[in-house]
Amino acid sequence: MHVMTLPNRSLAFSEYRGNSEGSVPLEQELILRALQGDGHAFASLVGPHLPLLYRIAQRACGSSALAEDAVQETLALAFKKLGSYEAGTSLKAFLGAIAARQALTLLRSERRRRRREEATVGPEPTANPAEQLTAQRLAERVREALAQMPKKRQQVALLRLDANLSYLEIAQATGTTEGSARVLVHLVLKELKEKLSDVISE
Amino acid sequence: MNNEDEQNAHVELRQLFEKAGEEPSDLQVARMLGKARAIPTAALERRPRWVWLPVGASAVLAAAAAGFWVLDMRGVQAGAEVGAQAAGVLPEGTEHDVGERATPNALRVVGAGPATSEEAEALGEAAQVLNGPGFAEADEVALGAEHNWATTDAEASLLLVGDNADDAELGSGMGAEDLYGPLSEEDVDWWMLATNELLGGG
């Protein structure tokens, strides 16, 4: 059996961004080495997916500093569960699922924090809606719309629209069949479109 | 919503999510990578709590065993000290003598009263024996041996019956008649005889 030897160095930054789909033996080797405590191997594994994890976390908490911490927590959790990951299935879906679950917690706490702030300060005065729809306001609207949905749908929305996972990958990440994932995505898109129709039309 | 609508909704929502989302900067990705590299080493260094369970359990058992041993040794020492004290206080042979003479008759006084004239005589002796200030409990009979052996105070010895009526140990098996004297005529005769002898009336 041919055993692939890996250089004992972390990959260059450009390599992380460009090569998101590694071959199965390479991935297997990296997982084994990571489980033995090789930090470089772990970084090589998760590196290509960091932007995705960051997007999901940032969508949920709305703060870049918090998002970085959330990514760190997601990676720590992913390392714990790495033994249960089957090489060859989608690592993107594996990490995305963990990130989405983490994001739900973040969304909940963010919502609670906003309620508390509104209770003490009071709602901001609404001026011209067109002026207020900056990227930040837009992000808040999306977050609010997500927070009003059931958990499973929130997760699917993040996996489909932020992580851009396929139906099969969403099925793997959420532990359902591809058919169920397809139906879920359909329902999620419909609901989100209704909730954000005013923002989409602009 | 048909397939085409769903496609459109997907495209529109993805654009919205991109507009409202935030991509990590190169610096942020580099920072997250650096943190990711440290995760395997940190996770492997941190032992799970259950690893310490056998060690903790052994320590608790050892401490408990030591505690029992210390208590046991203290008990033995205390017993030895009491024995030494008793041996030092009592003259040789007294302990046995007092026990033999005092205990059965004393119980008889408190209990049903003397049965024969010989016993009534013995009661007088026993009353003398028990006429000590230290005789609060039956256990202290031996210690009471040093007090007033020669005194023949019949009244005090009769009072002793009343004093000890409160004592739970001696009072066990007592009826109301024991406290207030004999109830039948035969018992009255008995009682009179014994009392006369005790008071020296003959």
B130 with B141: CB under 8 angstroms? yes
Burial class (CB in 10 A: 0-12, 13-18, 19+), B134: middle
Q: What is the mean pLDDT of each run of 10 residues along chain B (202 residues)?
A: 79 86 88 91 74 81 90 78 66 49 45 54 59 48 46 47 47 53 76 82 56
Give tens-digit pLDDT for A104-158: 888 777 777 777 877 776 555 555 555 555 777 888 888 889 888 998 899 899 9
The stretches of chain B forming alpha helices (DSSP H) are 3-20, 26-45, 53-89, 94-110, 117-130, 154-164, 168-171, 176-180, 185-199
C-alpha span between B17 and B9 (Å, rounded): 12
Optimal mutation site among A15, A53, A71, interface B, most CBs of chain B within 10 A: A71
With CB atoms and an 8 Å threshold, state whether B32 touches A35: no
Strand, coil or helix: A89? strand
Residue A134 gets the label, from left (phi > 0), alpha (psi -120 to 50) or beta, of: beta
In chain B, the N- to C-terminal Cα span, in Å, equals 125
CA angle (B177 as vertex; B176, B178 as ends), nearest 5: 90
- Selected for mutation to probe chain B from A55, A77, A143 (highest B CB count within 10 Å) is A55
Q: Do A193 and B12 touch (CB under 8 A)?
A: yes
Half-sphere exposure for B197 (CA within 13 Å, toward CB): 18
pTM beyond 0.80? no
Residue of B12, B22, B29 with shortest CB distance to A50 = B29
Asked whether the beta carbons of residue A39 and residue B39 sit closer than 8 angstroms, the reply is yes
| φ, ψ dihedrals at A4, nearest 5° | -75, 130
Residues of B in contact with A36 (CB under 8 A): 40
pLDDT at residue A135, as a whole number: 77
pLDDT of the residue at B47: 61
B104: its two tokens = 């059965």
Cα B104 to Cα B102: distance, rounded to the nearest angstrom:
6
B2: nearest CA partner in chain A: A186
Integer Cα distance of B123 and A137 in angstroms: 106
Determine which helix (DSSP H) or strand (DSSP E) holds A154, and give its type and residue range: helix A151-157
> What average pLDDT does chain A have?
80
Q: How is residue B135 written in tokens?
A: 């005789």
Do A75 and B35 make contact, defined as CB atoms within 8 angstroms?
yes
Residue A89, beta-bridge partner list:
A87
